[in-house]
Structure 1
Amino acid sequence: MKAYWLTNVTLDSGYVHEDGRLEGTETALYDIRIKDGVIEELQVAQSMPLKTDLPVQDAKRLLALPPFKEMHNHLDKTYLGLPWKSCTPVPNLTERLKLEAAELAELARTGQHRAEHMLQLLLQGGATHVRTHVNIDPYIGLKNLEEIQKALDSFGGKMTHEIVAFPQHGLLRTNSTGLMRQAMKAGASIVGGLDPGGIDRNIEASLYEMMNLAAEFEADIDIHLHDPGHLGFYTIKKLVSLIEEAGWKNRAAISHAFALGDVSVEETLEMADEMASLGIAIMSTVPINRVMPPIDVLHEKGVHVALGCDGFYDSWSPFGTGDMLEKAGRLAERYKWKDEYALSQSLQFITGGIRTLDRNGNRLWPKVGDAASMVLVEASCSAEAVARRSRRAAVISDGSLIFGGLSRETELTYN
């Protein structure tokens, strides 16, 4: 890739303090020299035109934010690209799984088509990475995995990805260990799991099976845990002990983990310390219809928390936008993070932990040597972008424009 200058880029540059209080965010215009997908130089923009022999692209004062990461999605489930269809009501999770199983074979035929529609939606919202769970079950074998791999390949150079082999209908319940093993050999990179108590009805055996698969393939773990209360909390305790025993530090994530919001504060604090020491992450969708783990407490204790949109426009939910900035805004609303500092810092939950500024107002991102990947938005600073879900004008990945254009009039549309 040839080198070029991206000029007139607005960056967070510090905080404004008045009467001892943090009242706002300072920003400044920068010119950024990019070569081979990497930031090679950052300099404060001058009033005079830049003197250079390199191509110049004017960002027109758009604010740059770190690229977003969608860390919990189900590309194989979406109805995007198909005619509108709402959800069929069911009384419980087991019945929902039965309903899903009945349509798997039909949906598998359009897997790539539907997934590509979802990927485009995520991308235009600013996500350049997706972690997708893919059903691995006896109903359609590896068909979903094959379709999703084709879709992800078609977005090569635009989005990076991780694929979780996900036993949606129960690892033990559907005797899917052999299929999971095939999926890992076929390109899945993370071993998934699902409600060892509520679905598999054998917590210890289900967790052991999942951990054994992870050890066999030297793979990370991401387990969906919806089970509430002390059932879910016991499952987390057992999983933590297995992770410690196996030495799987910094290699496991628990998606949803609703039980952490059901038990006492003392139990949650103690568990947060253990999770932080083992590098166990929490993947949350910031639900509005149920108790969720106390993300504020977990974060303060050093637990890595990331957000995702989960399944939407599918048999599980007709709602959603695929907009990670909206997720960050919802999280801020949920915890009443209304001040300048809290709003700007909430970005880290959708960027893989990257922040633009530290508490003292020192710029953390971007720096020379960073990948030239960013989301250009119509906002004065990152706090405004989160609070107002500011319009994405363009997305750049490794120096290449992959969505939109560098104009404040660019509309963000949803397919």
Structure 2
Amino acid sequence: MNISRKTFLKNASTNLAGAVLAPGILWAQGEDTRNPTKEMRPMDKSYTLKNVRLETGFEYEGDEVIATQTGLFQVEIGNGKITKVSADRPDAQAIDAGGMLMLPAFRDMHIHLDKTFYSDQWRAVRRSGGVKGMIALEQKMLPGMLKHSTEKAERLIELLQSKGTAFARSHVNIEPTSKLDSLKNLEKALENKKKVFGTELVIFPQHGVFYTDSVPYMKEAAGMDIDFIGGLDPFSIDGAIEKTIDFTVQLALDHKKGIDIHLHEQGSSGIQTIEYLIAKVNENPVLRGKTYVSHGFALGRLDKSGQEAMAEKLAAAGVGIVSTIPFGGLVMPIPTLMKYGVEVLTGNDSIVDHWNTFGTGSVLQKANLAAQLYGYTSESGLSRMLKLATGGPVPLDDKGVQQWPRTGDAADLVFLEASCSAEAVSRMSPVKSLIYQGNVVF
């Protein structure tokens, strides 16, 4: 059952190190971190949480899952890892979680931390004639945006944290207008947040690889501390699928990076791009499991048999899809992709910027929208959608066997006022506390 605020306050207790969990807030003694805009120091290297609600299995009526079973446990944390999960000891000197549900911390797997209006004055979107028109607008805006992009990135990270997200894959502009400045500014923000937030970086030729001469900047950035080589609509922006994909793949191979390409094209060029990328990955197996198509809207235009065939190819090649939920009137085949074993991820993409202003910062909301869109209304169905918020891990497998948390798992944890994953997804339950690598965020 849900724990009321009154009960939670009553149950809050202090452990030997002086760490406290009070109404949904973790902090280290002498330093109030209820405001996530402050940089937090780590808690002691090891500590114990008691009265932690964990999922233990499904309750069935015939073959139907009708409820999720949970129990209260004690969870020990040390050096950024879960070191032990054991039976709850109510009288233990430990941080009291007040019966809150503990889940894997959320992961936003497609966002642009480097360019945002968040924390600035309101500005609605100004449409300027398709992607190329928006590129022209962005070229005018970027010099001004770069002046404060470090501070704005930090505020955006704090918004994500407040929604339970402890990790993000961020695309970062690399093009002739900002050159490497966008990346360098973001790196400063990430350094300031490194104890409480994790990232993967995708160098992103937002203005095209060849449409504007981004090649020298992409080559230089590829040698920096980044994780993926990005791309943008090879046919409609650069006018050549093979040339752009070949450049991207070779850069990834040369620098031992992954690939994550924005692909908005919805027609045959979109499908051709996906198929060509699959072929290049099959030629270079080192890229399996490290290659993604962001958006991939062309998949939503295929008929059912075409979607199934493409899902089978993507899964066999180890190419993932990072999709937006929802996207106008287009319905992406996310259930089909999952059915065939394609890695499916999601993110907020834009929060408040010149491309879009509807982002809330919550990937739990994305899981909720997916559940509504695809009819995942049952207990088991709702719980399966949690993987869109966590980037993969869920407490119970499809048969209800507990698979998380386990000893050795990263101590990336979110605490919610919910009875189970299904309720958390359906009700978008309030996030009360967040831990990243054992460090308390709030």
Tell me the TM-score normalised to structure 1 length.
Answer: 0.93
Whole-angstrom distance in 2 between the partners of 1:292 and 1:171: 29
Whole-angstrom distance in 1 between the partners of 2:182 and 2:173: 7
Match of residue 400 from structure 1: 439
Whole-angstrom distance in 1 between the partners of 2:253 and 2:397: 37
- Which of 67, 70, 73 is the matching residue for 1:24? 67
The aligned amino acid for 1:332 is A
Match of residue 27 from structure 2: none
8 A Cα contact 2:118 2:351, kept in partner: no
Further displaced range: 158-167 or 366-375: 366-375
Match of residue 11 from structure 1: 54
Q: CA deviation at 1:348?
A: 1.2
Question: Alignment RMSD, CA only?
Answer: 1.3
8 A Cα contact 1:31 1:45, kept in partner: yes
Q: CA deviation at 1:294?
A: 0.3
Alignment of 1:317 with 2:356, yes or no, is yes
Whole-angstrom distance in 1 between the partners of 2:129 and 2:413: 43
Whole-angstrom distance in 2 between the partners of 1:186 and 1:399: 27
- Which of 242, 245, 252 is the matching residue for 1:207? 245
Whole-angstrom distance in 2 between the partners of 1:18 and 1:249: 40
* Equivalences for residues 301-312 of structure 1 within 5 A: 301-312=340-351
Whole-angstrom distance in 2 between the partners of 1:228 and 1:14: 41
The aligned amino acid for 2:175 is D
Whole-angstrom distance in 2 between the partners of 1:249 and 1:89: 37
- Which of 269, 283, 286 is the matching residue for 1:245? 283
Alignment of 1:135 with 2:173, yes or no, is yes
Q: CA deviation at 1:292?
A: 4.1
8 A Cα contact 1:233 1:263, kept in partner: no
Alpha-carbon displacement from aligned partner over 1:25-66 (angstroms, at most 9, x marks no partner): 1111111122222222212224x512xxxx511000100011
8 A Cα contact 1:77 1:311, kept in partner: no
Whole-angstrom distance in 2 between the partners of 1:312 and 1:142: 22
Q: CA deviation at 1:306?
A: 0.6
Further displaced range: 30-39 or 334-343: 30-39
8 A Cα contact 1:80 1:118, kept in partner: yes
- Which of 261, 269, 278 is the matching residue for 2:300? 261
Alignment of 1:368 with 2:411, yes or no, is no
8 A Cα contact 1:357 1:365, kept in partner: yes
8 A Cα contact 2:47 2:76, kept in partner: yes
Alignment of 1:81 with 2:119, yes or no, is yes
Unaligned 5+ residue runs, structure 2?
1-43
Whole-angstrom distance in 2 between the partners of 1:68 and 1:160: 11
8 A Cα contact 2:109 2:170, kept in partner: yes
* Equivalences for residues 16-415 of structure 1 within 5 A: 16-46=59-89, 48-50=90-92, 56-247=94-285, 248-403=287-442
Q: CA deviation at 1:2?
A: 3.4
Tell me the TM-score normalised to structure 2 length.
Answer: 0.88
The aligned amino acid for 2:244 is S
Whole-angstrom distance in 1 between the partners of 2:235 and 2:97: 52
Whole-angstrom distance in 2 between the partners of 1:173 and 1:304: 31
Alpha-carbon displacement from aligned partner over 1:196-229 (angstroms, at most 9, x marks no partner): 1111111111111111111111110000000012
Secondary structure of the residue that 1:198 maps to in structure 2? helix
Secondary structure of the residue that 2:51 maps to in structure 1? strand
Q: CA deviation at 1:288?
A: 3.6
Q: CA deviation at 1:297?
A: 0.2
Q: CA deviation at 1:19?
A: 4.1
Q: CA deviation at 1:271?
A: 1.6
Change (3 A) 1:97 1:59: same
Unaligned 5+ residue runs, structure 1?
404-415
Percent identity over the alignment is 36
Whole-angstrom distance in 2 between the partners of 1:128 and 1:325: 13
